[in-house]
Structure formats: structure tokens, C-alpha cells
Structure 1
Amino acid sequence: MKLAFDSLDLTLRGREILKTVSGQFQPGKVTVILGANGAGKSSLLSCLAGLREPQGGSVTLDNQPLFSLDNRERGRLIGLLPQRPDIHWNVDVKTIVGLGRLPHSGRWGMSDADHQAVARAMVATDCADLADRKAMRLSGGEQGRVLLARVLAGEPRWLLADEPLASLDPAHQFDVLERLKTYARAGQGVIVVLHDLTQAARFADDVIVLKEGNVLAAGPREQAMTAETMGEAYGVEIQMGTSATGEPLVVPVRRL
């Protein structure tokens, strides 16, 4: 189930955010969207999730216009973890995670399959031990894991995450990225906005680089994420290398 966008134009408050951009995403891969602040990353993700309709162009899912789907069907196919998500209800964690099953639940409430999906999601995000705690009393990192579990509980065909590493300690950052990669390897599609260039280099299969609302580069990570492209996108000199264990390192050196 391919997710694609074609000739997207988006203007917000008189400012061009996306400028006739096109691209596509393949299931089974982790695609990372990169770019400086204001490049259009979150806006593109909102369009792909069906939350914001562009003024021009189209978003298609398996060649079907995304905005022709009703909200419930779209919710079953695409799950979004937004930037800086908030928890506004002081209910227990398992209730928050259970909200991810709303597009699937029948009129009589959650089924056994729904409860099993919630349990799997909490285990996958290391928050099963938080199930009975009040969500608003958790730390920011714990809340981040709970909200990712809510998205995973919906078992979407496409999982979109906007800066999912915010507020997480390094160990849980690796856990989340590994979980997203596992989700992609199971045949689903994963699209992630990241600011950490080294993490992007380590976990991305494909990369889309945005600059001022345009696609600067797109393709397999090794081709799209070069020092030259990163330097142009961020306005800094970039050095790329490998760690002692052979993992990629991407280091900003100085402002250009």
C-alpha cells in the first residue's frame, strides 16, 4: 500500500510552506524526513496523515485520494504521533492507549482483539508496568512512550511520527527507533521526522530532505544523506564518519 504525494502546495497565514512538492513512500521501510526548522516537515506529515488538506496537489494511498476516505477508515490506515503531544485527561494509561483502537471498535465497546492489541502495544513501548497509573502523573518521557503505544495499538498500515525522540533518554530513544524499524520490517510503512542526524543515518532506509518548502533530496539514505546535502539543508558544515563499531556518525562542525 504505497503512500504518495504529488505537486503539493500549502500556504498558511500567507506563507508558502510547501511548494509543489512530490514524493512517495514504500511499505516495509523507515523513511526519515529531514530539514531545518521551518522547512515544512511537520506540515508535510500533517498532509500525509489527512489532517491538513493542501491548496493544490494530491495525497494518495494505493492510488486512492486520501481525502476521499472517511475519518474512521483513514484512522484505521494511518496513525500519527504528533509533535509535542499532550495528555489532557488524568485517566489510567491503559485507557489512553485504548483510544488507539477507536477506529476499530464496535458500538459495544472494545473486543478481546482490541484489548490484546493494547497489551501488545504497551509491551512494545515498555510501558506495560504503567498500565494502572494516572497518565498525567507520568514524566514527559513516560508520556511519550504511552502516546506511541496509543498509535501502535491502532495497528495502522502507515505509522507517522513527528519527532518521537523528544523527552526520551538515550536508551528509550534506541528502543523507540528499533520498535519503529521492527514495525516497518513486518510490512507496514513508517515515516519519521527527526532532528538527530546520526540517529537518522543509523535507522533510515530512505530519506527525504526538505529546504524552504522544497524537496532538496530524496532516495535511499546513502544517496540522499550526503555531507553536501546536509550542509545545504541546515546551513552548517557537516562531517560524516563511522564509530569504532562501524555505526554512522553525522557531526555538525560549524555554521556556514
Structure 2
Amino acid sequence: MLLSFENLTLTLRGREILRGVSGQFEPGKVTVILGANGAGKSSLLSCLVGLREPQSGSVTLDDRPLLSLDNRERGRAIGLLPQRPDIHWNVDVKTIVGLGRLPHSGRWGMSAADHEAVVKAMAATDCTDLADRKAMRLSGGEQGRVLLARVLAGEPQWLLADEPLASLDPAHQFDVLERLKSYAIAGNGVIVVLHDLTQAARFADNIIVLKEGAILASGPREEVMTAAIMGQAYGVEVQIGISDRGNPWWFRFGVCDNLGANRNGHRDE
């Protein structure tokens, strides 16, 4: 199932957030969306999941307009881990994770297949031991794993995550990205908004770089994550180094105004 977007234009509060952007995502791949604050990363993700309707353009799933699908069908196809997700119900963890099955559940409640999917998702995110604990009493890292389990329980063909590493320590960041990579390897599509260039370079198959609402570059990681493109996107000089294990490391130094960074003070939309 291909997820595509064409000529998306989105204006919020009188400001053009997305400017005629187009692209296509492949299942079985991790695509990372990069860009400075205010570049339009979260807004693009919101359009891709159907939370925001663009002023023009379209999002399609296998040539079917996303907004023509009913909520249940859309929920089975696409799962979203939003930016700064919060848990507002002091219920046990297995109940929170079970909410991910709502697009699949029948009128009589959860089936055996639903319960099996919840158990599988909790095991995949190392949440099994948390099943009976109250979700609001968990640490931030534990809550992050629980909310990822909720998305995985829905078994979506596409998993979209908006800055899933925020507030996580390095060990948990690596763990979350490994789980997302595994989900893609299993044949699903994964789209992630990240700020950490080193993590993007390690885990992404494809990269989309946004700058001021337009696509600056798009393609395989090796072709897009160059010092020149990253410097233009973020307005800093970038030096790329390789560790002794062959992993790419990214360093930045010296703000360069002539690179055209987004310095308008807008928060990420």
C-alpha cells in the first residue's frame, strides 16, 4: 500500500505552512522527515494522517483519497504517535494499549484476535510487566513505550511518529528507533519526524528535508544527508564524521547566516 501526497498547500493563521509539496512513501522503509523549527514537519504529518485538511492537494492510499475513507478504515491503515503525547486517564496499562484496537473491534467488544494483538504489542515494547500498573504513575520513558504499544496494537500498515524521542534518555531513544526499524522490516511503512541528525543517519532508509514549507531534498539517506544540504536546511556549518564502527556521526559548528536558516521565530508547525 503506497502512501502519496501531491501538491499539498496548507495555511494556518494566515501563514503558509506547506507550499505545494509532493512525494511518495514506500512500505518496508523508514522515512525520516528533517528540517528546522517551523519548516512544516508536524503539519505534513498531520495531513498524512488526515488530522488536517490542506487548502489544496491530496493524500492518497493506493490511489484512494485518504479523506474519502471512514474513520475506522483510516485507523486500520495509519497509526499516529503524536508529538508530546499525554495520558489523561488513570487506568491500567493494558487498557491504554487496548485503545489501539478500536478501529478493529466489533460492537460486542474486543475479540480474541484483539487481545492477542495487545499482548503482542506489549511484548514488542517491553511493557508486559507494566500491564496492571496505572498508566499515569509511570515514568516518562515507560509512558512512551506504552503509547507506542497502543499504536502497534492497531497493526497499522503505516506508522507515523512525530518526534518520538523527545524527553527520552539515549538508551530509550535507541530502543524506540530499533522497534520502529523492526516494524518497517516486517513490511510496514514507517514515517518519523526527528531532530537528531545522527539518529536519522543511522536508522533512516529515505529522507525528506523541509525548509520553510517546501521540500529542499528527498531521496535515499546517502544522497540527501550531505553537509551541503544539511547546512542549507539548518543554517549551520555541518561536518560529517564516521565512527570506528562505521556509523555516521554529525557535528555542527558556526552559525552561517548566508545559508538561509529559518530564523523567523516560529515554532514547528
TM-score, normalised via structure 2 length: 0.94
1:173 aligns with 2:178: no
3-state SS of the aligned residue for 1:38?
coil
3-state SS of the aligned residue for 1:172?
helix
Alignment of 1:151-230 (within 5 A): 151-230=151-230
Q: Is the 8 A contact 1:27 1:188 kept in 2?
A: yes
Q: Distance in 1 between matches of 2:223 and 2:229?
A: 10
Amino acid corresponding to residue 179 of structure 2 in structure 1: R
**Gapped regions of structure 2 (runs ≥ 5):** 257-269
- How much does 1:254 deviate? 2.0
Amino acid corresponding to residue 223 of structure 1 in structure 2: E
Q: Distance in 2 between matches of 1:22 and 1:183?
A: 25
- How much does 1:13 deviate? 0.5
1:73 aligns with 2:73: yes
Q: Distance in 1 between matches of 2:100 and 2:224?
A: 34
Q: Is the 8 A contact 1:144 1:167 kept in 2?
A: no
CA RMSD, Structure 1 to Structure 2 (Å):
0.7
Q: Distance in 1 between matches of 2:22 and 2:251?
A: 29
Task: Find runs of 4+ consecutive structure 1 residues off by over 6 angstroms.
Answer: none
Q: Distance in 2 between matches of 1:255 and 1:126?
A: 41
Q: Distance in 2 between matches of 1:97 and 1:252?
A: 39
Q: Which moved more, 1:61-70 or 1:123-132?
A: 123-132
- How much does 1:172 deviate? 1.6
Q: Is the 8 A contact 1:6 1:21 kept in 2?
A: yes
Q: Is the 8 A contact 1:124 1:179 kept in 2?
A: yes
> Partner of 1:30 in structure 2?
30
3-state SS of the aligned residue for 1:108?
coil
Cα deviation code 1:200-232 (max 9, x no counterpart): 000000000000000000000001111110001
Cα deviation code 1:164-200 (max 9, x no counterpart): 1112221121111111111111110000000110000
- How much does 1:152 deviate? 0.4
- How much does 1:127 deviate? 1.4
Amino acid corresponding to residue 23 of structure 1 in structure 2: G
> Partner of 2:131 in structure 1?
131
3-state SS of the aligned residue for 2:10?
strand
3-state SS of the aligned residue for 2:38?
coil
3-state SS of the aligned residue for 1:164?
coil
> Partner of 2:96 in structure 1?
96
Q: Distance in 2 between matches of 1:55 and 1:163?
A: 25
Amino acid corresponding to residue 146 of structure 2 in structure 1: V
> Partner of 2:4 in structure 1?
4
> Partner of 2:120 in structure 1?
120
Q: Distance in 1 between matches of 2:254 and 2:84?
A: 28
% identical equivalent positions:
81
Q: Which moved more, 1:16-25 or 1:241-250?
A: 241-250
The count of corresponding residues between Structure 1 and Structure 2 is 256
3-state SS of the aligned residue for 1:133?
coil
> Partner of 1:140 in structure 2?
140
Q: Distance in 2 between matches of 1:151 and 1:251?
A: 33
**Gapped regions of structure 1 (runs ≥ 5):** none
TM-score, normalised via structure 1 length: 0.99
Q: Is the 8 A contact 1:31 1:192 kept in 2?
A: yes
